[in-house]
Amino acid sequence: MLILSGGTGTPKLLRGLVRVIDPEEITVVVNTAEDLWISGNLVSPDLDTVLYTLADLIDEERWWGIRGDSFITHTRLKEIGVRERLSIGDADRAFHILRSDVIRRGGTLSDATEKIREALGIRSRVFPMSDDSVSTIITTPLGDMHFQEFWVERRGEPEVIGVRFEGIDDAKPSSGFIEALRREKTVVIGPSNPVTSICPILSLKGVRDAMADKITVAVSPLDGDRPFSGPAARFMRAVGVEPDDAGVISILGEVDHFIVSRSSSYPGRCIRIDTRMDSIEESTRLAKEILRLVG
């Protein structure tokens, strides 16, 4: 089974899937369009969230970073005048250093991800969507800004006029992603932000065509007509679709099974169930429903 993932929503689903499927039968391909270099190290927020979730290290209060991490280095850097866009924990930073060292030595993001996966003892396969650089750029009345500047530094407050993925036209799917598309018969599009988390993955050359003969399941990230969390509604309006499940499916494209919340207004063919995943039990229940659909 191939899972397309961003941060937060899909990792919550993953913690249920690994309880009902052999983790070695799961391949996760993760959005990297929100990556950025901080203090000399490459931070891959969505990749890290997926890896830490699969390793049972994720801070489930924030759904980023490592549970119980300290912030000594970040605090000291701030004290000496170094401004970091994200608050990076000490243990978290160690994996960023490993990733960056691999890349500086000529390796790819996929190579670095594999080293981290092995170090954490993760049995599922995990790949970045691409080894090429792609950046999510948010257009606002204040000018263009990287997603992390918009969401973290400016707390998502500026009006969103547009969203684009810088570098997407030249980026290729990672070799691990290509191989998974050849091998896997089922693709699950997780409940991550459809614009900034899933759209970059689907926009890579050849991905939509390769998915055409797969059994596809999409889980909406909306609760009724509102996102469970994050700025998805504003991003959807910025790309010209309504912030509802009809808008979600217009971004994702045709799928075999579309899972929505019980309160969804979506008029098309879908499966209405409780899609909340506030607990492992709820995540597991949704994972079992996905397995039922794909046989």
* Cβ-based neighbours of 209, under 8 Å, separated by 6 or more: none
Beta bridge partners of 252: none
State whether residue 173 is helix, strand or coil.
Answer: strand
> pLDDT value at position 230?
75
Q: Quote the mean pLDDT of the chain.
A: 96
> pLDDT value at position 227?
78
Q: What number is the average pLDDT over the span 279-284? A: 97
> pLDDT value at position 295?
80
77 has a pLDDT exceeding 80: yes
Instruction: DSSP for 185-197, please give it.
Output: SEEEE-SS-IIII
Amino acid symbol at 141: P
pTM over 0.85: yes
> pLDDT value at position 8?
86
Q: What number is the average pLDDT over the span 238-266? A: 96
35-73 per-position pLDDT tens digit: 999 999 999 999 999 999 999 999 999 999 999 999 999
> pLDDT value at position 231?
87
State whether residue 282 is helix, strand or coil.
Answer: helix
117-155 per-position pLDDT tens digit: 999 999 999 999 999 999 999 999 999 999 999 999 999
C-alpha to C-alpha distance for 151 and 290, rounded to whole angstroms: 31
> pLDDT value at position 228?
74
- Least confident range from 116-130, 167-181, 221-235: namely 221-235
